[in-house]
Structure 1
Amino acid sequence: VTMLCGGLGNVQDATAKVQQICDELKPNVEEKAGKTFDVFTAKTFTTQVVAGTNYFIKVFVGNNDYIHLRIYETLPHAGSKLQLHSLQTEKTDQDQLAYFD
């Protein structure tokens, strides 16, 4: 995948690693969203290479509802730590996954 530094890569189907990232940060997401999710399935994602990696992930949360997550992963030498940066709620399957702050 050719990608300019700072640009978003192509949107791809979620991988096992992306689902693992979502599972790990689900409690943080629920806290920030102010609700709990019975279903929390990563559908698609894209990445942005910075000093680390920003993951933008579309997550199915049941009842035709989706949320978009922005998760930052530090570089491997910094321990590849994950941090929920921000999220967008009330998304649909048709909403395109795009950069957001």
Structure 2
Amino acid sequence: MATKVITGGLSETKPATPEIQKIVDEVKPQFEEKTKEKYDCFHAVTFRSQTVAGAMYYVKVHLGNDRYAHLKIYEPLPHTNEPVELSDYQIGKSKDDEVN
């Protein structure tokens, strides 16, 4: 049975895909600028998505060792030609924290 996506509703948590990793890679410089730190490890683990005027992604990112961050990333609709934007983030997360 297909998962029904409700506009504005948050999807279930899913394993990160190569497409999500690409989006995470695009906002890495924004994240490093905001946290004033460089990250050798920056791997998307899981994500949830929300359909808005574009897409909002809530992504758990492994920063190395036992360090995780939750990123809120906005991807505008393609025709706008706007860049992907890091809307918000939370650091100090654990591997077991639910991304939301």
In the superposition, the TM-score normalised over structure 2's length comes to 0.92
2:24 matched residue in structure 1: 22
Structure 2 gaps, min length 5:
none
Aligned-residue offset at 1:23: 1.1
AA aligned to 1:8 is L
1:62 matched residue in structure 2: 64
Q: RMSD across aligned C-alpha pairs, in angstroms?
A: 1.1
4+ residue runs over 3 A deviation: none
Alignment of 1:35-54 (within 5 A): 35-54=37-56
Aligned-residue offset at 1:79: 2.4
CA offsets 1:40-93 (integer angstroms, 9 cap, x no match): 000001101111100100000011110000000111221263011010000001
Please give the secondary structure, in 2, of the residue aligned with 1:8.
Answer: coil
AA aligned to 1:91 is K
Corresponding residue pairs, total: 98
Structure 1 gaps, min length 5:
none
Alignment of 1:61-100 (within 5 A): 61-79=63-81, 81-98=83-100
Please give the secondary structure, in 2, of the residue aligned with 1:81.
Answer: coil
Distance in 1 of aligned mates of 2:41 and 2:53: 31
Identity, % of aligned pairs?
42
Distance in 1 of aligned mates of 2:46 and 2:82: 21
2:4 matched residue in structure 1: 2
Distance in 2 of aligned mates of 1:90 and 1:34: 15
Please give the secondary structure, in 2, of the residue aligned with 1:19.
Answer: helix
